[in-house]
Amino acid sequence: MIQASDKESSRQCVALCLISVWLGGLVAPALALTVALDVGHSLAHPGAISARGVPEFAFNRALAVVVQHALEKQGFQVRLIGAQGDMDDLRSRTRAAAGADVFLSVHHDSVQPRYLETWVPGGIPHRFSDRFSGFSLFVSRSNPALSTSLTCASRLGTTLRRAGFVPSEHHAAPIPGENRPFADRANGVHYFDDLVVLKTATQPALLLEAGIIVNRTDEVSLQDPATREKIAGAITTALQACLTGTPGHALP
């Protein structure tokens, strides 16, 4: 009896152990954090045009691919949204992000038309402004997870600053088209409540303007693979920290 019982429980144990190993294999990948990485704009509506005539969408896509690789290297799952350039409906972007742990929209910045001047590099006239430089971050108070959105944005501002980048404050200027209040001035974070992708996202959401592509110096730097790697590293560090509750604080 005892022997039979032992054999029985041993058989049960083997079965249970196999099930738990199988379940472990299923559960482990699901624990990886998923980043919905949104490539701002599209081929039809490419956003800002750089000081040398390159559309913002090309900058956004090139940076997003580098960010994707950096995140995946650190164990994140990445859902790249809009990389084909055919996503013109903003709400379809946040629908595509359903179930992700965070939504990050990648953009490059311009300035108000009043600041733009004309130059003629290579015989072709282009608009530029060297007046402002640096990154900006946005969160929406209409997003259902404002607190984590803001924590992630502040952390990203901090990791970008530690990597040598500087926030631009031009979106806070009291002029038409700007007036975006600071959520965390030191780390370059603003409130922009009506940004469609931020307010319709069902998870924490932030939008990064990585730099100002109508600035002639910044445009060149933002195309440098080393700059993109630095930005991608800052994003990876910040998202790891804010999504896993890693100790540490945003820089004051």
* Comparison of 84 and 147: residue with beta carbon closer to Zn ion: 84
Query: Which chain residues interact with Zn ion by CB under 5 A?
Result: 40, 47, 107
Which residues have C-beta within 8 Å of that of residue 26, sequence separation ≥ 6? none
* Comparison of 46 and 144: residue with beta carbon closer to Zn ion: 46
Nearest distance from residue 188's CB to Zn ion, in Å? Answer: 16
Any idea how long the chain is? 252
Indicate if the alpha-carbon torsion angle 120, 126, 129, 130 is positive or negative.
Answer: negative
Nearest distance from residue 154's CB to Zn ion, in Å? Answer: 21
Nearest distance from residue 209's CB to Zn ion, in Å? Answer: 7
Return the amino acid letter for 65.
V
* Comparison of 36 and 250: residue with beta carbon closer to Zn ion: 36
Which residues have C-beta within 8 Å of that of residue 108, sequence separation ≥ 6? 40, 47, 48, 50, 56, 59, 60, 63, 209, 210, 211, 212, 213, 222
Nearest distance from residue 14's CB to Zn ion, in Å? Answer: 57
* Comparison of 78 and 213: residue with beta carbon closer to Zn ion: 213
